[in-house]
Amino acid sequence: MSHELDGKYRVSSTTSYQGPIEKKSDGETEIINGQTHRIDDAGCTWTSTFEIISDTEVKMSSTADATNADVDFLLTAPDGTPTKGPVTYETILKLARKGERVQMSGQIEYGNDVVLLTMRSM
- The better pLDDT of the pair 19, 107 is held by 107
101, 107 contact by CB (below 8 A): no
Per-residue pLDDT for 18 more than 90?
A: no
CATH class, domain 7-121, is: mainly beta
Torsion of CA 106, 89, 6, 13, to 10 degrees: 50
Per-residue pLDDT for 3 more than 90?
A: no
| Res 30: pLDDT | 94
pTM, 2 dp: 0.85
102, 95 contact by CB (below 8 A): yes
Residue 2 binned pLDDT confidence (cut-offs 50, 70, 90): low
Residue 45 to residue 66: CA distance in whole angstroms: 6
What is the average per-residue pLDDT within 50-67? 95
Per-residue pLDDT for 20 more than 60?
A: no
For the chain, the average pLDDT equals 87
37: Cβ contacts below 8 Å, ≥ 6 apart: 45, 46, 47
